[in-house]
Chains A and B, each alone.
Chain A
Amino acid sequence: MPATAQEGPDHIGYFDVQSVSSSLVDGVHELDSRIQIVLSDEALEALNSGVVLRIEFNIEIIRVRRFILDSLDAELFISHELEYRPLSQRYIVNNINSSDQDSFATLYSALNHLGRIQRLPIIDDSIFESDKTYRARLRARLSTKQYPALLQALFFWRDQWQLESDWVEWILER
């Protein structure tokens, strides 16, 4: 059985980047993060009704500059699609970037899987200037861009569809 919205007041849901770190492995910066994803009632109802949810991780690499504004040097989007398949009664998580697909018996398992980023290569250190400092930041959000415009317009005004974590920053160790 699919997960259902809880009784009582509406749950607006939230995305929270609980931990984030990166490490330089063989000249490549790899990301580890733990993100808690709690869907709102409306998003959950949509998911159970066959609507595919897209969850994006937005990673920005920013070059720190001393006297002027910092420069956004690179931007990376990791997108996953989450859907419920009524026949198999399983939640499917598709990694848009890698085309990997996983299925889960519970929404919790699916979201837990989604929220766990392990050793994700984000950028090659060789493209960085050696004497510069770079910082990175991560944000997770529920995207509605894939929906028809009419729905986008409708979701635009709904708080329960505006799920987005704060930016969490860290310095890229080199």
Chain B
Amino acid sequence: MDTRAIKKLAYMTLGAAGIGLAITALFLLSRTAQNSEDFDRLHIVILLINTAGIVVLFALLVANLARLLREYRTHVLGSKLKARMVGMSATLAVVPLLVVFYFSMQFINRGIDTWFNVEVEKGLDDALALSRTVLELEMQDHLKTTTKIAENLRETNATQLVFELSTLRQESGASEISVFGNNKQIMATSSDFAADYMPQVPTDEVLLQIRQNKPFISLDPLEHGNYQIRTAVVFGNRSRPEALRIIQAKFPVTEKISRMANSVDSSYSEYKRLLYLREPLKRTFILTLTIVLLLSLLASVYGAFVLSRRLVAPIQDLVEGTIAVAKGDFDTRLPSPTRDEIGFLVSSFNDMTENLSKAQRQASLSQAQVEAERTNLEVILARLSTGVIAFESDLRIRLANQASGSILNVELENRAGEYLSNIASDHPLLEQFIDAAQTHLNAGETEWREQIVLRGEVGRRVLTCACTTLPGDEDHIPGFVVVFDDITALLQAQRDSAWGEVARRLAHEIKNPLTPIQLSAERLRRKYIKTMSDQEVQVLDRATHTIVEQVEAMKDMVNAFSEYARAPNIDISTFNLYKLAHEVVDLYRTQESDIEIVLNTDLMLPNIEADIGRVRQMLHNLIRNSIEALENSDYKGRIEIRISKSKIQETEVIEIVVQDNGPGFKTVSMSQVFDPYVTTKPKGTGLGLAIVKKLVEEHAGSIEAENLDDNGAMIRIKLPVNEIAREAMMVMLSGRREKLGGQA
């Protein structure tokens, strides 16, 4: 049994004891009210029971009050309401009780005081004095009679004493006359009583009086309210003490006087007794009334505690249940209600929580389904190569997939809640994207499609965008979702394909007639040179020479196109790029040129698995491109080639950087740097970088071109070091590549 249960049991026991005592006291009071003898007999018991009841109730009250105070201080739910109810109930019970008590006290004090009256008291005193005076006169008469009898008997001898005494008694009206000797022996007696009646010997009181030579006289109350006057005198020769005699006489008081005297005596005594008992009676009544008041008062206050506890308990349960519901605990059920309004309230609460619980379970189920769908959507979005950005009308990101960040060259996937405008400040592609989107949104277009071109440092990026509205929900305001694809590579591939077709047609259509043209020109020269004058020979010679040179030039051009358009046939081998780079660079260093060529290679450069011929051509084309860019410059040209080991997302690559201090790429042509026939140089076919790009892509590598801050251009190539790295690079680029393949 826990402490709380023990306490509850103790309280219940005390309460039961208190109630039992109170009921017992009431029962006894009820019985004693009907029977005064019972009341007298049980009064002390009743008082003790009531006192015990008061003690028990007081202990209960103190315990309840202490508990209420503790609950109030610790802000236990419902304690304030309980305190208020106890206060109100106690006030309602205590005030009338105190009023009744006050008036009862007044009534007792004044009621008892009205029993006594100064005039009554004086009247009684006078009546008593009058009665005494009357009786005193009679007593004195009887004393004189007794003295006279004593004188008559002075000379009477012992034998005549009895007869004389009888005569004198009858004459005097005494009921009894006795003569005693000095030692109290009876010498003679005469009375109205039976013959065997023994006369009363003189008491010490009588003897004491006699010895003082004083006659004795007294008024003796008898039974049944009668009185008798007793007298005693001494007679005989005082010189002989042994001869002294005592005569004791008893005279009845008449019945009428006795009755009146007794009435006065009784009334006076009763009045005095009441006067004496006035204060004790008051105190007793007040004590009893106080006990009853205390019992009633304590019982009322305790009842207030019990009542308030019972009333507040379901309210406390309701408050606790409400708090639990507010915290999301919908499984709260309150104890079985009673059948009153509070019970109805509790029952309604239980119904409500049950409904809420069901709704919560349904909501949880729905939420789980939504979460599952959301997860599926996230998986799908993550796998999509298409960029998806959902944002609210204030450009706050609601959702963005990984592809969107890849396309716009900014990490967006985990930045939900941030404003696109804030992120875009450092990312020009995203900034242009937002500008393009806002153009439509500001125009009120909520559903739109457009192909937009974003311009970056590394070239342009072409996106196809589709936008639609996104309804709002509890957490979000309405917004938009933009789905976009990077079709730059697709367009590039289409362009490459077109150029390849052009190259093939050129090779086929143009290269074939060139040889006959060249041969025909040489034949013309041989056939007619002999028949012409010297002047005409010079003309012919110069013309045919020009034809032959131009045809050769056209052949070179056609060969270059053939090289660009030829089918990929990679011959992968493992070789040392360091060595290859040095061989290529040495070729250009041997040529007479003012251009400085610097080669920086990593000493720990690993061997690379690639087509050595293609890589050599890449280096040739890049160096030649830079040299051509630096020709005709009025300052000392410088080409720096750096080859180092690098990583792209844990994938090992070799980075080849070729940079020069030439004029750089024209910004307008940055997006078309790698297109065929795009050149800013006075010389050149425009196929150099296009071929390099083609070669790099054949190796699943990447190539970037950019202008340096101070004059110059830089080409950065990243080639996978081995087959594993190549496959990894292909996976990284798979989205775009696969898409390219699919769309192609």
Contact A152 B44 (CB under 8 A): yes
Report if B19 contacts A (CB, 8 A): no
Bound-state CA distance A109–B209 (Å) is 13
Distance of A50 Cα from B42 Cα, bound (Å) = 26
Q: How large is the interface on B (under 10, 10 to 19, 20 to 34, 35 or more residues)?
A: 35 or more
Q: Within the assembled complex, what's the spacing in Å between the Cα atoms of A88 and B262?
A: 10
State which of A48, A99, A109 has its C-beta within 8 Å of the C-beta of B204: A109
Is the contact region of chain B dominated by helix, strand, or loop, or is it mixed? helix
Interface status of A128 (Cβ within 8 A of chain B): no
Tell me, in angstroms, the Cα distance from A85 to B227 when the chains sit together. Answer: 12
Return chain B residues, CB-CB under 8 Å to A170.
Answer: none
Knowing A45-B276, A150-B288, the reply to whether A87 touches B44 (Cβ < 8 A) is no
Cβ–Cβ contact B280 & A101, under 8 A: no
Q: How close is A96's CB to chain B, nearest CB, in angstroms?
A: 13
Query: How many contacts A-B (CB < 8 Å)?
Result: 95
Q: For B222, list chain A residues within 8 Å (CB).
A: 101
Q: Contact check: which of A87, A101, A151, A156 meets B277 at CB < 8 Å? A: A151
B355 lies within 8 A of chain A by Cβ:
no
B264 touches A49 (CB 8 A): no
Interface string of A72-114 (1 = CB under 8 A from B): 0000000000011111111010000001011111100100000
State how many residues of chain A have any CB contact under 8 Å with chain B: 31
Interface set, chain A 18-37, CB cutoff 8 A to B:
none
Contact of A105 with B218 at beta-carbon distance under 8 Å, contacts A150-B288, A153-B287 already known: yes
**At the interface, is chain A mostly helix, strand, loop or mixed?**
mixed
> Is A154 close to B, CB under 8 A?
yes
**Minimal beta-carbon separation of B205 from chain A (angstroms):** 6
A151 to B276, CA, bound (A): 12
Min CB–CB distance A147 → chain B (angstroms): 9
B59 to chain A, nearest CB (A): 23
B 253-282 binary contact with A (CB < 8 Å = 1; else 0): 000000001101100111111011100110
Beyond A150-B284, A152-B43, A154-B280, whether A88 also contacts B218 by CB under 8 A is yes
Give complex CA distance A151, B274 in Å: 12
List, in ascending order, chain A residues with CB within 8 A of B262's CB. 87
**CB pair A49 B220 closer than 8 Å:** no
Interface string of A125-138 (1 = CB under 8 A from B): 00000000000000
Name B200's closest neighbour in chain A (CB-CB): A102
- Smallest Cβ distance from A51 to chain B, in angstroms? 5
Contact B47 A153 (CB under 8 A): yes
CB within 8 Å for A87 and B47 given contacts A46-B276, A103-B218: no
> Does A8 belong to the interface (CB within 8 Å)?
no
Q: How far is the CB of B201 from chain A (nearest CB, A)?
A: 12
Task: Provide the bound-state CA to CA distance between A92 and B222, in Å.
Answer: 9
Query: How far apart are A79's CB and chain B's nearest CB, in angstroms?
Result: 17
Asked whether A9 is an interface residue with its Cβ less than 8 Å from the other chain, the reply is no
Provide the bound-state CA to CA distance between A90 and B47, in Å: 38
Of B204, B264, B270, the contact of A50 (CB 8 Å cutoff): B270
9 A-B contacts (beta carbon < 8 Å): A48-B272, A51-B273, A85-B269, A87-B131, A88-B219, A90-B218, A103-B220, A105-B218, A148-B40
> What residues make up the interface of A, taking CB atoms closer than 8 Å to B?
45-46, 48-51, 83-90, 92, 99, 101-106, 109, 148-154, 156
User: Closest 10 interchain pairs by CB?
Assistant: A149-B43, A49-B276, A50-B269, A50-B273, A87-B265, A150-B284, A149-B40, A88-B219, A50-B272, A49-B272
Given A151-B280, A154-B283, 8 more contacts at CB 8 Å?
A: A45-B276, A86-B269, A88-B219, A101-B221, A101-B223, A149-B39, A152-B43, A153-B47
